[in-house]
Structure 1
C-alpha cells in the first residue's frame, strides 16, 4: 500500500511550497538557468512520517539527467531513511535508484510498534513524484517536525549541497539538524554559490534565526572581494541581530601537489578573511568567521575527488563547525 508523500510533513524549505523544490524559482526570474535547476534539487529536504509497518518501501521518479561521476547514485538520485530509536535518529535504509522511476524496499522485518521516520530526498536531483509504501493493514501518517529549536539558512557551494557524501543524510547540514534539533535550510548551489546580488537578496529575505555563508569555495578571489560586503549587509539590514557565520573554503586536496590550485584557494581564503575584517571595522555586529584550515583534517583522506568531502570529510567538518556555532545559536 502506497501513500503520496506530498501529504506528509516536508521539512527543509526556505518558504513553504507544494513541490519538492527548495525555492520557488518562478518568484526569482533573474536567477540564471543553472541556479534555477539546482534549486529544484532535493538537498536537505526531508519527509517526516510515522508508521507501524515492519516494512517501508518507496516509489519515486527523478529527472533523466546522468548521475555525477564523483557521487554515489544514492546521494545523487536516491533516498535515505532514518528512524528514531531511544531518542536518537538512526540510519535504517536507502532507496537505490536504477532508472528515472524507481521502487525499492528500504527496510523490512522490523519490530512491531509505531516508528518515527525521516526520509531524505535526493541531494542532486529533482523529485517529480514520491510515494511511501507499507504493509497491508498497517498505518502511516504525517509526522512532526523534529527540528523546531531554530531555523538557520546555509547558503553555499557543492560542499554545502552534499557532494560527495555517500547518501543524503550524511551531508553536514543534515547531520547538524539531527544532532542539534535545528532546521538547517540547505541552499547549497553546486558551483554556483557566487553571491550574485539577486541571490543575496533572496537569502536575506528568508526569515531565520541565523545565516551561515559557506559559499567561498565558488567565487573567484576577486568576486569575494567585490560581493561579500553586499550579502552580509543585505542580511544584516533585514535581520539586525541574527548571527552571520562565514566559513572559509575547505582546502582542496587536489592542491596537495597542484600548486596552482593551492594558491587559488589560499587567495580565496585570504580575501574572505580580509572582507570579514573590513566588515568588523565598519561596525557590523554578530559576524563570525570559521577558518577553513582544519575542516577536512591534515591527512588528505577527507575527499572523494580531491575537492568534495567523503563521509570522513563531512564528519570532520561537523566536528569543527558544530562547536563553533553552538554557542552562537544558544
Structure 2
C-alpha cells in the first residue's frame, strides 16, 4: 500500500485557513486575544490577565478541504495543569466536521501526553475523499506558539469565509466565560452558541480577572464590527462593590463606541453553596436585583437595546449536578447555559 504524501499548512502564513475569534491574528499572526500593544496596557492593570489574554479561548480555525487525513502539530506555552479541568479542555484542540456550519458534528480531540508542550496528533482520517468543512477549536487555558495542519499533498484547501454570516458577538466575563471547566474547547458556552446561531464570538473571559477595570473595558468596547455585547462578569466582581462601581461606566464606554447595538447583561449562575448558606444566596440575589434594576433604569432613560438575563435559571433543571466544583460548569452545565442564552439572544434579535 502506497503511503499518502502530505503537506503542512500554517494558518499564520496562508489565507487558505480562516481564523475566527482572534481579532488581531490577521495583522499580527499571534494567537492572542489582544494586540501586542494592548497587552502592554493589560500587563499594567493585571499581569495575570496578560497571561490569560495569551490563551486563545474562543479562537478557531476553519477551512474546506477534500483531504482524507488531518494531523495537527502544536507548540504550546503556559499550560496551567489545573486539577479541576481536563487537559484537553485546558491545552487541547477539538475538531468538528460537516459540509456546512448547520451540520457540524464533533469528530475528535487531542488526547495528548500532558507532559509535553509540543506534540502532533491525528485528528481526522477517513477513506472517502470528499469536500468537507473542518473547524478546529483552540485551547482555552494555554498559550499557542504555533499550529500546523498536515493534510494530503494533493488536497484542496479553501477558507471558510461563510462560517459566521450573522455577525460578531463580544462577550466579557470570568473563568466560566473563558471556558472553565469544559472537557474540550468546543463545549464552552460561547463556542456552542457560535455553532448554533452563526455568530463569531470574541471571548474576553478572564479567569478571576474579569473585574471591569476601565482600561480593559475600553479595549473590549473597541472591538471592531461588534453586533452585540454580553457582560457576564459578576462572578469576578461580586465583592467590595466592584460590580456596582463598574457596570455603569462599562456600559457608557460601550455606548460611546456603539450607540445602539444590543447589550445583554447576565448575572452569575447559581453556585452550589448558595443552596446551603442563606447569606451567600442573599448576596447573589442582591447583585441580580442590582443588575436588573440597572437595566430597567437604562430602559427608562431611553436605552431600549440593553437587556438582562438572570443567571440563577441557567443551570436548571440540574443546578446542583451541572458543575465540577460548585462553581464551574461541566459540559452539561455549559449546554444548559448555551440553550438559555441562545433563547435570549433570539428574542433580542426578534425585537
TM-score normalised over the length of structure 1:
0.93
Alignment of 1:227-266 (within 5 A): 227-259=246-278, 261-266=280-285
Alignment of 1:57-76 (within 5 A): 57-76=71-90
| Other-structure match for 1:29 | 40
Q: CA deviation at 1:301?
A: 1.0
Query: Quick check: 1:273 aligned with 2:287?
Result: no
Query: Quick check: 1:14 aligned with 2:31?
Result: no
Where do 5+ consecutive residues of structure 1 fail to align? none
| Other-structure match for 1:101 | 118
114-123 vs 24-33, which deviates more? 24-33
| Partner-residue secondary structure (3-state), 1:226 | helix
Deviations 1:90-117 (A, max 9, x none): 1111122321001111121342211111
Residue from 256, 280, 283 that aligns with 2:302: 283
Deviations 1:41-68 (A, max 9, x none): 1111011122222221101011143321
Is the 1:156–1:215 Cα contact (8 Å) retained in structure 2? yes
Q: CA deviation at 1:188?
A: 0.8
CA distance in 2, matches of 1:40, 1:216: 22
Residue from 317, 322, 326 that aligns with 1:306: 326
CA distance in 2, matches of 1:329, 1:19: 33
Q: CA deviation at 1:14?
A: 3.4
Residue from 201, 211, 228 that aligns with 1:210: 228
Q: CA deviation at 1:263?
A: 4.0
| Partner-residue secondary structure (3-state), 1:151 | strand
Q: CA deviation at 1:254?
A: 3.5
Where do 5+ consecutive residues of structure 2 fail to align? 1-5
TM-score normalised over the length of structure 2:
0.88
Give the direction of change, closer, same or farther, for the CA distance of 1:110–1:272 in structure 2 (3 Å limit): farther
| Partner-residue secondary structure (3-state), 2:236 | coil
Is the 1:48–1:145 Cα contact (8 Å) retained in structure 2? no
Deviations 1:10-38 (A, max 9, x none): 11123444211111142353322111111
User: How many residues are treated as equivalent by the alignment?
Assistant: 330
CA distance in 1, matches of 2:306, 2:322: 28
| Other-structure match for 1:191 | 208
| Other-structure match for 1:149 | 166
CA distance in 2, matches of 1:209, 1:195: 20
RMSD: 1.9
Is the 2:79–2:141 Cα contact (8 Å) retained in structure 1? no
